[in-house]
Amino acid sequence: MNWFELITLHSPPLIVAVPLLAAFLTPLVSKINDTVRNLFVLIMLSITGLLIAILGYDVLTNGIRTYVFGGGAPLPSGMNIPVRIMFEVDGMNIFMVIITIILAIVGIVYSWSFMKDQDGLDKYYTIILLLVTSMLGMELTGDLFNFFVFLEISCITSCALIAFWVHKGESLEAAFKYIVISSIGALFVLFAIGLFYAQYNALNMATIANAIQFGFLDKIALVLLIAALAMKAGLVPMHMWLPDAYGEAPPSITFILAGATLASLYGVLRICFTIYGNAFANIMPVLSSAIIEWFIIALSLAAILIGVIMALIQTDFKRLIAYAAVAEIGYIFLGIGVGLTSVGVGYGEIALKGGVFHILNDALDIGLLFLVAGAIYYATKETSLDKMGGLARNMKYTTVFFIVGLLAVSGMPPFNGFASKLLIYESIYQLNPILAIVAILASILLLAVFVKVFYSVFMGPALPKFKDVKEVPRSMLIAMGAIVVIIIIFGLFPNLVIDNIVQPAASALVDHSSYILKVLPGVT
Amino acid sequence: MIYNIPFIAVVVMIFIGLYAVLFKRNLVKMVIGISIIESGVNLFLITLGYREGGVVPIFTSAPSEAVKNAPGSMVLPVPQALTLTSIVIGVAVLALMLSLIMHIYKHYGTLDVRKIRRLKE
Amino acid sequence: MSLRTIVAVVMFSVLAMFFVFTALMLSFGAPMKTEMDDYIIMHTQNETGTNSGVTTIVFDYRGFDTLGEATILFAAVSGVIMIFRRVKK
Amino acid sequence: MSQMSKIVRTLSNITFPFIMIFGLYVIAHGHLTPGGGFQGGAVAASGCIMLLVAYGSTWVFEKIKVSRLSVFESLGALGFIGVAFFGLIFGGWFFNNFLVRNGILFNIVPKTGSTAAEFNTAGVLPLMNFAVGIKVIAGLFVIVLVMAYASSLKEWKQ
């Protein structure tokens, strides 16, 4: 066994363990000085990125890979249930992990300049590393209780980071709201895990997916899990915390926090498609499955409309973008809901592909807008739209970045948002044309919202108080520029992304039986 | 029915906690509610692992009767481990929530939810 | 009665129904399946050399969970220290 | 918080060693009896917090640096993840129990069935217990210390 195979074999735990080790070391390293600490964090995250690349290459070429903690075969001899904790990595996990690491590295680079004058920075970087660890753990694990533990880590760390500006009452309030909602949600998840444990005596996802009977207790568990995770993902009836938290956190945090939201969304996907995949496909009567799917579609349309309409009336820059994020999450769920209605049928597959692709695009587009909002806050110390104007004269690069973000988020052609939204429109039009029209109109409204923002922030007469506003420092420009480059590449060559990472992710979601077979060989 | 009393206690605890979270206006009472829900869930996990007449799954000077009939004579160990994890998580969440409450009180001078709602919908 | 109260009451009663049914469907003292736990009880001594079944799970079979748990405590301590730091206004 | 009366301080002085010894006992015998790193750490931390209550947070805060305790916590966490990495290096898998049967320490495997308490068993578990114990003592103490000290400051009084 050469060293490359060895690294590939051990990469799943190392992807989680390396940032965790870095987080434990950061309080010690930051005693040296600030530059060393920043470089240390960046290098550790780059090592993680490298490991993810290695693992991703392996998974995309050789199929699903498992890792058993503590060693040995997945199943002890003579048993049908894995006893040890297991990581199980398929195309979907790889897809989510790639998104997370991009967000993390860019967020860290952005933080260098943005957070320079703040104090308490060693704890800030420690907690960011813990948040990244928790997201990676949630996205790689194959064990439900392990998923819950990482969910709680992400809940605590995001709450602490939202409250980073403790001198502002609003950020404390947002953090409290967030932690109340997400800790209750996490307790529901734990209760549901208890229900699974009581029935099947297993905590492994593949084992539960294989054994699931879809009895009454399973239905309760499904409702609790979906409610709790959709709450953390910010789907509409439970989206109230999202604008507060996104709006009040430091923008560099919001950027990474979007990744935590998407990790919860991944949890919803894994539960719907894998754990309950067998039940939805074989056991459940057609009528009640259609109810669930139409419920998801209705909720996602409501999310799109509420997000866009609330974004129209906001006056605070970051809250406005947060409502746009609510709408974008609606688009993701729209694709997934249409995909659920017709698993395997032509347009269902396209819709699922579009929904999965839109996860990536949502992270990049909304993230870019938050970074621009942060840059403007850095330069002017102002977030209210009414008090800004004429900034295009002083901040040329930021203006260009904002235009790119604006066009990408509203699904305009040469950018990546168009590629995924087109897939969603195309498939939903075959399901029901009216829904497609609503979705397209909402997207156009979103464009209108951001064009309004563009005029009020960047255009117009130069305000005297912004006369000596300068362009933001280089590290922030590099971070935003990197995202812009990725957006343009994805927009110009969408097939490159779709064929290489989106298609494996979507087919891994649909194909729940090979997920089960990898852990439990010989089960049909 | 009568044997299900532990589960009913779980449900009652979760209700009391949810009532406190949803209807109380005081932040500290909301936190107490979350703690009660958490204790209810922990009790649920522990209750799932009970086997009638079982002893602790520890072999250090265990009664010989229990060892002879193992594993049927010992309670299930996994829920106990899960509960241990969940308790520590609860402590961490509680610490963070209480420190947030201290800061909120410092800023607003009150703990009433209706008075501190500065964020608009 | 504000809108918030009505929504809260509805949510509360729906959840209440769920949990009551759950409580009535489970049976106390007789777990439905015990395969994994039986394996652990029978193999804790010769696989890990530990006498205590619970410690075996906490640190060996499910050691990674415990790492996450330690991480949570670490995160809470970091968070509390960060929140109570002295802020330059 | 200010100091409490002399009676309280004397009593807590007397009971403090016993609480600490009991906590350390629970940590050390985690693999033999009910208990372990978390439980013993919580007991020992409550002993420290008793001193905090008796002597007042201001006094304790001057004696013990929070940053030093926080370093201890980091070290505990590092020890724990370090043992896991040693499992990867020596045992071939992350979190492998590499000491059991063929290590130098804690390598005895007890007979199956009811046995006496043999301390030298269980592989890496006692090491992890100690690491977690240090971590929990430092962590819980820091949380309570910081909160108590902050609430005793003047700027917090209305």
Exposed e or buried b per residue across A77-111, where buried means at least 16 C-beta atoms within 10 angstroms of its C-beta: eeeebbbbbbbbbbbbbbbbbbbbbbbbbbbbbbb
Contact A436, A421 (CB under 8 A): no
Rounded Cα distance between C19 and C12, Å, is 11
Q: Quick check: C30 and B51 CB within 8 A?
A: yes
pLDDT band at B2 (very low <50, low <70, confident <90, very high): low
Number of H helices and E strands in chain D, helices first, is: 5, 0
CA–CA separation, A37 and A473 (whole Å): 19
Of A145, A149, A160, the CB nearest to B96: A160
Residue C59: is its pLDDT beyond 90?
no
Query: Is the link from the previous residue into B71 a cis peptide, with omega within 30 of 0?
Result: yes
The CA-atom distances, in angstroms, between A172 and each of A154, A177, D156 are: 17, 9, 16
Top mean pLDDT of A490-499, C71-80, D101-110 is at C71-80
Torsion of CA D97, D98, D104, D110, to 10 degrees: 40
Over range C51-73, report the average pLDDT.
86
- D-chain residues within 8 Å CB-CB of B64? 114
The Cα of A107 is separated from the nearest Cα of chain D by a number of Å equal to 24
**Cα(D124)–Cα(C48) distance, integer angstroms:** 9
Question: From CA A44, how far away is CA A19, in angstroms rounded?
Answer: 6
Contact A190 B104 (CB under 8 A): no
Q: Is residue C27 part of a domain?
A: yes
Contacts of A341 (CB under 8 A, 6+ apart): A290, A293, A294, A297, A348, A431
CA–CA min distance B14, chain D (Å):
25
Residues D110, B59: C-beta atoms closer than 8 Å: yes
Give bridge partners of residue A143 from the DSSP assignment. Answer: A204
CB < 8 Å from B in window 238-257 of A: 240, 244, 247-248
Lookup result for tokens 């403090």: D16
Q: Tell me whether residue C89 is in a domain.
A: no
- DSSP secondary structure code for residue C88 in this structure: P
Chain A CB contacts of B116 under 8 Å are 169, 173
- Kindly state the average pLDDT of the residues A342-369: 83
Lowest mean pLDDT among A245-254, A324-333, A391-400, A438-447: A391-400
φ, ψ for residue D127, nearest 5 deg: -60, -45
Q: How many CB atoms lie within 10 A of CB B71?
A: 21
Q: Which of A379-383, A491-495, C52-56, D41-45 is predicted most confidently?
A: D41-45
- B10 contacts on C by Cβ (under 8 Å): 19, 23
Between chain A and chain B, how many beta carbons pairs sit less than 8 Å apart? 80
Angle of helix A121-140 relative to helix C63-83, nearest 10 degrees, comes to: 150
Is the pLDDT at B120 greater than 60? The verdict is no
Task: Please give the Cα distance from B46 to B48 (Å, whole number).
Answer: 5
Whether D77 and C63 lie within 8 Å, measured CB to CB: no
Are residues A72 and D97, on separate chains, in Cβ contact within 8 Å?
Answer: no
Who contacts A272 (Cβ-Cβ below 8 Å, separation ≥6)?
Answer: A226, A280, A336, A340
- Say what angle helices A169-200 and A216-233 make with each other, to 10 degrees: 160
pLDDT tier at B121 (50, 70, 90 boundaries)? very low
Q: Which of A17, A28, A70 sits opposite D81 (nearest CB)?
A: A17
Residues of A in contact with C64 (CB under 8 A): 13, 69, 85, 146
Q: Tens of pLDDT along A126-170?
A: 999 999 999 999 988 888 899 999 999 999 999 999 988 888 888
Closest CA to A115 of A77, A48, A161, A46: A161
Work out how many domains chain C is built from and give that number. Answer: 1
In this prediction, residue A431 carries a pLDDT of: 80
* Residue C46 structural domain: 3-83
- The answer to whether A22 and D81 are in contact (CB under 8 A) is no
Which of the residues A115, A165, A201, A238 would you substitute to probe the C interface, choosing the one with the greatest number of C C-beta atoms within 10 Å?
Answer: A201
Residue among C63, C71, C76 minimizing CB distance to D95 = C63
User: Which of B60, B105, B110 to mutate: most D Cβ within 10 Å?
Assistant: B60
- Per-residue pLDDT band at A524 (split at 50, 70, 90): low
- C-alpha to C-alpha distances, C80 to A115, A122, B90, D146, nearest whole angstrom: 19, 13, 15, 8
Q: How far is A265 from chain C (nearest CA, A)?
A: 21
Per-residue burial over A407-416, b = 16 or more CB atoms within 10 Å of its CB, e = otherwise: bbbbbbeebb
Closest partner CB to A183 (pick from B34, B107, B121)? B34
What is the helix, strand, coil percentage profile of chain C, to 5? 75, 0, 25
Residues of chain A in contact with residue B85, where contact means CB-CB under 8 angstroms, are 145, 149
Q: What is the pLDDT of residues A400-438, one digit of tens each?
A: 888 888 888 888 888 888 888 888 888 888 888 888 888
Q: Could you tell me if A89 and A66 are in contact, meaning their C-beta atoms sit under 8 angstroms apart?
A: yes
CB contact under 8 A, A28 and D71: yes
CB contact under 8 A, C78 and A123: yes
Which residue is listed with tokens 């104090």?
Answer: A119
Check if B100 contacts A (Cβ < 8 Å): yes
Q: Tell me whether residue C88 is in a domain.
A: no
Question: Between residues 16 and 75 of chain C, which touch chain A (CB distance below 8 Å)?
Answer: 18, 21-22, 25-26, 31-37, 39-40, 43, 60-65, 67-69, 71-72, 74-75
Does residue A445 belong to the interface with chain B, where contact is any CB pair within 8 Å?
A: no
What ipTM score was computed for the predicted complex, to two decimals? 0.92
D147 touches chain B (CB under 8 A): yes
Question: How high is the mean pLDDT of chain A?
Answer: 85
Is the Cβ pair C53, B84 closer than 8 Å? Answer: no
Q: Within a 13 Å sphere around the CA of D14, how many CA atoms are in the beta-carbon half?
A: 5
C12 touches chain A (CB under 8 A): no
- Contact partners for chain A, using 3 or more CB pairs closer than 8 A, are B, C, D
pLDDT digits (tens, 9 = 90+) for B10-45: 888 888 988 888 888 888 999 999 999 999 999 988
Within 8 A of D117 by CB-CB distance, chain C residues are 51
The angle formed by the CA atoms of residues A154, A168 and B31, to the nearest 5 degrees, is 50
Q: Do C44 and B57 touch (CB under 8 A)?
A: yes
Residue D90, chain A, CB below 8 Å: the answer is no
Query: Which CATH number among 3.40.50.2300, 2.160.10.10, 1.10.287.3510, 2.40.30.10 corresponds to the domain B2-55+67-116?
Result: 1.10.287.3510
| DSSP, residue by residue, A155-192 | HHHHHHHHTTSTT-HHHHHHHHHHHHHHHHHHHHHHHH
Q: Residue C40: is its pLDDT beyond 50?
A: yes
Residues near A55 by Cβ (< 8 Å), separated by ≥ 6? Answer: A8, A11, A12, A15, A65, A89, A94, A97
Report pTM. 0.93
User: Quick check: A21 and D78 CB within 8 A?
Assistant: yes
In a domain, C73, yes or no: yes
Contacts of D87 in chain A (CB under 8 A): 70
Least confident of A268-282, A334-348, B44-58, D59-73: A334-348
Which of D70, D87, D95 faces A27 most closely, judged by CB atoms?
A: D70
Q: CA-based diameter of chain C, in Å?
A: 63
Does residue A494 carry a pLDDT above 80?
Answer: yes
Range of A266-270, A509-513, D29-33 with top mean pLDDT: A266-270
Q: Is D92 at the interface with chain A, CB within 8 A?
A: yes
**Strand-strand pairing, A65-68 and A86-89:** antiparallel
Dump pLDDT digits (tens) for A468-480. 777 778 888 888 8
**Per DSSP, what are the bridge partners of residue D13?**
none
Q: Choose among B44, B93, B104: nearest Cβ to A173.
A: B104
Q: What is the mean pLDDT of residues A16-39?
A: 87
CA distances to A160, A325, A328, A411, A424 from A440, in Å: 38, 16, 12, 9, 10
Residue percentage of chain A with pLDDT more than 70: 97
What is the least distance, in Å, from the CA of C47 to any CA of chain B? Answer: 14
Tokens 């969440």 label which residue? B93
Rounded CA gap, A300 and A306, in Å?
Answer: 10
Contact at 8 Å (CB) between C36 and D101?
no
Q: Do B91 and C76 touch (CB under 8 A)?
A: yes
pLDDT tens string for chain D (158 positions)? Answer: 677 888 988 999 999 999 999 999 988 888 888 888 888 999 999 998 898 888 888 888 888 888 888 888 888 888 888 888 888 888 788 888 877 777 677 777 777 777 777 777 777 888 888 888 988 998 888 888 888 888 777 666 55
pLDDT for A239 equals: 81
